[in-house]
Amino acid sequence: MIRCPDCEYEWAEILATIMTAVGADGIDYADIDDRNVEPHWNDQSFCRCPECGYEGVVADFISRDSPWYGH
């Protein structure tokens, strides 16, 4: 479960990274599609509440008994 520690809103925005292909011409934007966009983040990734604007890290937003904690 993810929840804002301030207003308890149950959505959050996580700053995640993706792998992408880069060649001589720069980033291949055509390579970025549903098949390979797998955002990577961890419990220290920046996290923000879209409702109240609270900013912190993912660990601030998730409860440790969540089944997907640590993923």
Identity of the amino acid at 15:
L
Half-sphere exposure of residue 7: CA atoms within 13 angstroms, side-chain side: 12
**Part in contact with Zn ion (CB under 5 A); list of ranges 19-27, 32-40, 49-57, 60-68:** 49-57
Residues in contact with 56: Cβ distance below 8 Å, sequence separation at least 6, in sequence order: 5, 46, 47, 48
43 is an interface residue for Zn ion by CB under 5 A: no
4 is an interface residue for Zn ion by CB under 5 A: yes
69 is an interface residue for Zn ion by CB under 5 A: no
Residues that bind Zn ion (CB under 5 A): 4, 6-7, 9, 49, 51-52, 54
